[in-house]
Structure 1
Amino acid sequence: MISLRKRINFMTPFLAWMDYYKRNKHRIWEIDFARGIAIILMISLHIKWAIDYFGIGNTGVPPMVYGVLQRFTAGTFIFLVGVSLVLSNLKVTEKKMLLKRNIIRGMNVFAYGMGITLISYIFARNAMVLFGVLHLIGLGIILATFMLKQNGLNLILGLGIVILGCYTVNIDMGWLFFLGFKYPGVETDFFPIMPWFGLTLIGVYVGNKYYIDGKTKFPLDKFPQVLEYIAFLGRHSLMIYFVHMIVILSFVFAIGKLSF
């Protein structure tokens, strides 16, 4: 007779994934966990934004607090892109295969970003996302591929891009805004190459320095339930990020607060 636990695992991929962590104690769970925390914060921030922007209510969150949390959350995602890029390519030795793989991966993520652009254009034209976190991550995956073996340089270049971005934001260069230059009206979910791509390169540096062996730095004999839930979210963060925006905007539309 099949136990209830086995039935649940067979029927529920989510619980099956939690069992994966238990069977693979050397999986680098802390990366998924950190990404999971970031996706929870991101969803919370977008709910707050929708409530305030569409006049559903007033969350009372100070703009400064919102801005800091938004940048911290996005910065976490962008930094982890670099770390994860190192981990996902540890066993790929052929340069052409590595480049092809990451170009396709980057283009896929960038396409998700363009999907967000389209959705924001339809539902919130005054807050249209022109170059958001997914655009940056998609392009960052491609660019960082050429820097995977340049470890020391990544730290220097990454810090340089971050610092340079603090200055370019005040320079108006028209349609070069995606590089990090000022462009009137581009504010919502805006994460240009400077300074944000610098965090990806710093992530590559950290990945090469601390995770080149492909093993967790925080081994656990037992995974707490809450850790498994959050790590699961982190593992599927890209799809969750894309879908949650559709869900939030659809909800706002459904209650009549949004019109075309």
Structure 2
Amino acid sequence: MTDTASPRPRFAIVDIARGIAIIAMIAYHLCWDLSYFRFIAADVGYDPQWVLIARSILAVFVFLVGVGLVLGHGRGIRWASFWRRWIFVVLGALAITLATYFAFPESFVYFGVLHAIALFSLMGLAFVRTPIWLAIIAAVVIIALPFFLSDALFNEKIWSWIGFWQIPPPANDLVPVFPWFGVTLLGIIATRLVLASSLSTRLSAIAPTGRLPRLLAFLGRWSLLIYLLHQPILLGIIYPAAQIMQPQIAMRGHDFLASCQSSCTEGGTSAEMCTTYCQCGLEGVERNDLWDAIYSGLVNADQQAQLDAQNRQCSALIYPDLTAPQ
């Protein structure tokens, strides 16, 4: 296969899908940044509903990698075009690794979305013209295998990119080969099936005519560049705002109540009683200005006495019989 192989006509609907996906990604990262700097209470990195949103957006991006490989190289791999784009993706991935290493050294991105796209693009080329049944088998195995195979070895960063971990190492973005390359294969399979059917003609005829579809198609064509630039822009706005406004101070009461409520209910106390106890505790912390002691863990004798007295007072609200004089 040579660079003379002609690409298929561009499908505007694919660009529109990329445009929607990049807007969703920007919105998610905006919420992540606001959560990290405590402008909002949601724990975007760990709350199950936010994790589901993040994985859904990721699935679309990784699926579209497979779509793009077939549309761009299904008739023959255009190596010059492929390597130009691939090198750009790799450089972007390296830039993200370096930036996050200095910003978040404990959870830097060492195999995130762009790293995965670079590797999946190389691996996916092997399936753009092979028998489709082979791609289907590979997709099923790659997606299913992590549900049946795990080992502590893959908890280490050096092996975690493969995907068979028991506990994932800390990283702000981690997109392992298993199962996510399987999603790229699904994109390859779906696109090959569509191109082999009459649906291909109808989809290729779709053209963005309104302002919104044209905007989405434009964003989709430049999705890679937008992906590289959007976080620096967001952080360039949010970080200075956080230094000035210090939202973590406004949110510390919420954080205290959430942590106290969780610890209290885990101890077997009812949620209603824990709410009363924790609200009492929060009022005591604010009244006695014990925030520095709580956050630093450095408590002097007077502060410990205040905390002990506060604990007895709050416990009396939910267990009056245990605290009453005998």
TM-score, L = length of structure 2: 0.63
User: 1:125 is aligned with what amino acid?
Assistant: P
Q: Which residue of 1 aligns with 2:95?
A: 115
Q: 1:220 to 1:198 in 2, by over 3 A?
A: closer
Question: How far apart in 2 are the matches of 1:205 and 1:42?
Answer: 24
Q: 1:46 to 1:111 in 2, by over 3 A?
A: same
Question: How far apart in 2 are the matches of 1:224 and 1:128?
Answer: 40
Alignment of 1:105 with 2:91, yes or no, is no
Percent identity between the aligned chains?
A: 29
1:107 touches 1:139 (CA, 8 Å); kept in 2?
A: no
Alignment of 1:223 with 2:206, yes or no, is no
How many residues get paired?
Answer: 229
Q: Which residue of 2 aligns with 1:53?
A: 36
1:99 CA displacement: 4.9
User: 1:77 is aligned with what amino acid?
Assistant: F
Q: Which residue of 1 aligns with 2:56?
A: 72
TM-score, L = length of structure 1: 0.78
**Alignment partner of 1:63 out of 44, 47, 60:** 47
Encode CA deviations 1:50-87: one digit per residue, 9 max, x unaligned: 11112233257681111111001011010011111111
Q: Which residue of 2 aligns with 1:163?
A: 144
Structure 2: gaps of 5 or more residues: 1-8, 245-326
Q: Which residue of 2 aligns with 1:83?
A: 67
1:155 touches 1:205 (CA, 8 Å); kept in 2?
A: yes
Which of the pair has the greater relative contact order for Cα pairs under 8 Å at 6+ separation?
1
Moved more, 195-204 or 214-223: 214-223
Question: How far apart in 2 are the matches of 1:51 and 1:143?
Answer: 36
Q: 1:101 to 1:219 in 2, by over 3 A?
A: closer
Question: How far apart in 1 are the matches of 2:116 and 2:47?
Answer: 23
Q: 1:88 to 1:215 in 2, by over 3 A?
A: farther
Q: Which residue of 2 aligns with 1:132?
A: 112
1:36 CA displacement: 1.1
RMSD over aligned Cα, in angstroms?
Answer: 2.6
**Alignment partner of 1:37 out of 2, 14, 20:** 20
1:129 CA displacement: 1.2
